[in-house]
Structure formats: structure tokens, C-alpha cells
Amino acid sequence: MNWLSLLSRADGFDSAHLSQPAKDAIGNALEGKALTRESAFPLIECGSDSLIPLCQAASKLRDDGKGRTITYSPKVFLPLTRLCRDACGYCTFRLAPAAAKPLFMTLEEVVAVAREGKRAGCTEALFTLGERPEQRYP
């Protein structure tokens, strides 16, 4: 059974809005073939009317490769410094030097936060150092 007939069984699947290069890229991915940069471009160029079939193909790839089980590892977050050269939109710990007083966690703070994490059931510690802060703040 080819990938198109397999996905066509899914509710709401309609490949009519997918270009042939996009169909080829999805088919190759579902067959376990690696996508090249060039073969992936048609997927980027798909319009919003192609979102459902793209998501269905991605769901199938995820389910086949990893299954539907979500796991997590409870860890305590220890930002040893809040300085970083980057300004990632998702980051919640980076501060500029003027706002980050003190600039580094003390040993006592690290131990206190680690102990609190242990009491909360954390089994790992995630130490963050910022991405090369010395390049932005020499």
C-alpha cells in the first residue's frame, strides 16, 4: 500500500492541494528516505490549505518512529549565570548585566536550589551557563 492510499484512509485527508514535488517529498519521508534540502523546499512552500495533509503525514512519521508516548525527566534548573550572547525568544533566564545582579549563582544558592529540586522529586539537574556570554559582554 502506498503512502497516499494509507493517509487517504484518515479523516479529512485531501492531497489535492499538495504539489507533486510536495507529494514526492512526503512519500519519500514516509518510506524512510532522508529528505535533502532541495526536496524539502516544496514542503516549506505549501500554503495553509495543505496544512492538514502535512500534519497527518508528520503524525504518521512520529507515530511510526517514536510512538505516541510522551516522556519527561523531572529536573531542577540551575542557571549558574544569567548572561548569554544570544537573545532567544523562548528563553526565560537570560538577563543583561545591568539587570542580572548578581551575575552568577553562589555555591550556597546552587546547593539550596538543588535540594529544593530533590524535595520536589527532581532526579536530574540542568546546569545552564549561557551561550558564550564573554563574546557579548567582554
Q: Distance (Å, rounded) from C-alpha 97 to C-alpha 112?
A: 23
Q: What is the pLDDT of residues 17-45, one digit of tens each?
A: 788 888 888 888 888 888 888 888 888 88
Tally Cβ neighbours within 10 Å of residue 41: 13
Q: Give the residue extent of every domain in the chain.
A: 3-65, 75-136
Tally Cβ neighbours within 10 Å of residue 57: 26
Q: What is the pLDDT of residues 81-100, one digit of tens each?
A: 878 777 788 777 777 777 76
Residue 12 has what pLDDT?
A: 53
Q: Distance (Å, rounded) from C-alpha 86 to C-alpha 103?
A: 16
Does pTM top 0.75 for this prediction? Answer: no
Q: What is the pLDDT of residues 97-136, one digit of tens each?
A: 777 677 888 999 999 999 999 999 999 998 988 777 776 7
